[in-house]
Amino acid sequence: MSVVLEPLVHKDLLKIFDTKSMDIIKYFIFKALLSQPELLIGRKILPIHVPKEHIEQWLTQALTLRSIGAGSYPIDVYKSDYSWGADIKMLSISINSDGTVAPGESGETSLGQKFTGIGKELDSMFSNKQYEKIRFYYSPYC
Q: Per-domain residue ranges for the chain?
A: 10-138
Q: Is the pLDDT of residue 35 over 90?
A: no
Q: Is the pLDDT of residue 1 over 50?
A: no
> Is the sign of the CA dihedral 66, 17, 49, 101 positive or negative?
positive
Three-class DSSP category at 66:
strand
Instruction: Please report which residue ranges of the chain form alpha helices under DSSP H.
Output: 10-16, 19-34, 52-63, 122-127, 131-138
Three-class DSSP category at 123:
helix
Q: pLDDT tens for residues 73-120? A: 667 888 888 777 887 777 666 667 776 767 765 555 555 555 556 566
**Which residues does 135 contact at the CB level (< 8 Å), separation at least 6?**
68, 78, 142
Longest dimension (CA), the chain: 58
Dihedral pair phi/psi, residue 84, rounded to 5° = -165, 160
- CA 45 to CA 15: how far, in whole Å? 35
7 against 58, higher pLDDT: 58
Residue 66: name the closest of 16, 75, 74 by CA: 75
